[in-house]
Every structure is written in C-alpha cells, then in structure tokens.
A and B are shown apart, each in its own frame.
Chain A
Amino acid sequence: MIELLFLLFAAVAVGAAINVLVQKHVLYSSLSLIVLLTAISGLFVLMQAEFLAVINVIVYAGAIMVLFVFVIMLLNLPSDEDGADRLRWLKLAGIPMGLFLLFMVVRTLWNVQSAPAAPELAGTAQAIGASLFTDYLLPFELTSLLILIALMGAVVFAKKDL
C-alpha cells in the first residue's frame, strides 16, 4: 500500500517536473511546479515528516509560488520565449549526455548498501521546534537577519529609478 502511494507521488512529481520544462508559457510552468510541490509534500507525509509537509504546502505552494504567479501576471509576458538564437546542437548534445548521467547516477544509487533503518521518527512541530530552539538557535536567529536583508534588497531592486 505504502509502496503504491510512493510510486503514485513519485510519478506525479516527475511528470510535473517534466511538464515544467516542456510548457511554453512560464505561467503554466509555475502552476505545474505547484503540483510538484504537493507531490513532494505527500512524500514527506510518507516519511513521517508531517510538519515539513504542511510547511511545504503553506510556504512554498502558498507563498513563494503565489509570488511567482503574481510577478508573471504583473509583467504581462509574451507567451513564446524566443530560443531560436540558441545553438541547436547544444540541445542535441545535451540530451544524450544528460540521459547518460542519469543512467550512471541511478545505477550507482541502486547499488548503495544503506545502514539498517533506525526506529521511526515523527517529524512533529514539537520535535522540530525543540531542536530548532536549542541546537540550531544561532542559525535560526541569523535567518531573521537574512530575511531582513532579502526584504530590503527586494524593495531596492524593484524600485523604479534603479
């Protein structure tokens, strides 16, 4: 049962990722990325990381992707990206080499002998919060500084008279 759910979520994730790449208009790409994020959240639930699953949907699919869609709508883009001035043979050479790299990576990971699984760990808000506010307190505080800098940077960059 759980294997079936894994295969379902994995198929949805890979399909959505491919759809992100093949869509011509970037708006459809970002909507497809939301599907990918939802599938990843399902995989998090399968791994007992419930808090991260919820956070992934709320922050990623709910906030970051809305920001993307908002900017795409704001700019009112032309639907077709003109990639004609790109060298064609780069794409022709890149796809076989990418497939080869994929084959090598999958073959290597398939043969990995992993250590026996540890006892189950529930990634609840309590467990994450307890670790975040003791062992990782300094990175957590520095994160607020990072967000402040990003906030000011975004305001400055998007100003009219840059």
Chain B
Amino acid sequence: MIPLNWYLILGAVLFLLGVLGFFIKRNIIALLLSVEIMLNAVNLTFVAFSSHNGQINGQIFVFFVLVVAAAEAAVGLALVIAMFRNRETLNVDRSNLLKW
C-alpha cells in the first residue's frame, strides 16, 4: 500500500511543472498543454484522496474535470485557429492590442 503523501507530492510536482510551463512558454498551444498538465495533477490528487478515504466522490469530480477539459480544449483550439487566422502568429506576446 503506497502512502498518500507520495501521490500528493507527485501531484504537486506535476502541478508546479504545469505552472512553470505556463510562465516560460510563449506559444499559445504550449500554454494550453501546460493547463492540461495542471488538470492532470489535480485529477491525480483527487483520485488519491478518494482511494485513501474509501469514498467515490473524488472520482466523480475527476469525471467532471475531464468534461470541462474537453470543452476547454475545443473552445481554446477554436480561439487558437481564429488568432492564427487574424494575426499569423501564435506568440502571446504579439497579441498586445489591449496593452499600452
């Protein structure tokens, strides 16, 4: 039986890697991929608590996270296509019309 701490630490490490990717990458698709890493880290933590406490609720939450991730990927990628069509680049630093 693996202690709960190990799963929590792995989840935290993966989440921090996702945050790091979100900060250092400039390609908008890479940012979406970093968000997916963070969602998976949270899923791992949910399932770890669910399995440790013997309650199914955490796994239901993971189910909903999956649904939201699918919706987010669909809308996000549609926005990526629209952005590429309008600006010919995916660099988020180039989309600075609202900046001064």
Contacts and interface: CB of A to CB of B under 8 A. Distances in A.
Contacts, number: 223
Q: Is the interface of B mostly helix, strand, loop or mixed?
A: helix
Contacts of B69: 60, 64
A46 B53 contact: no
A60 B40 CA distance: 10
Contacts of B16: 98, 101-102, 105
Interface of A: 2-3, 6, 10, 13-14, 17-18, 20-21, 26, 29-30, 33, 36-37, 40, 43-44, 46-49, 51-52, 55-56, 59-60, 63-64, 67-68, 71-72, 74-75, 77, 81-83, 85-86, 91, 94, 98, 101-102, 105-106, 109-110, 112, 114-115, 117-121, 123, 127-128, 131-132, 135-136, 139, 143, 146-147, 149-151, 153-158, 160, 162
Interface of B: 1-10, 12-14, 16-21, 23-27, 29-30, 32-34, 36-37, 40, 43-44, 47-48, 50-57, 59-60, 62-64, 66-75, 77-82, 84-86, 90-91, 93
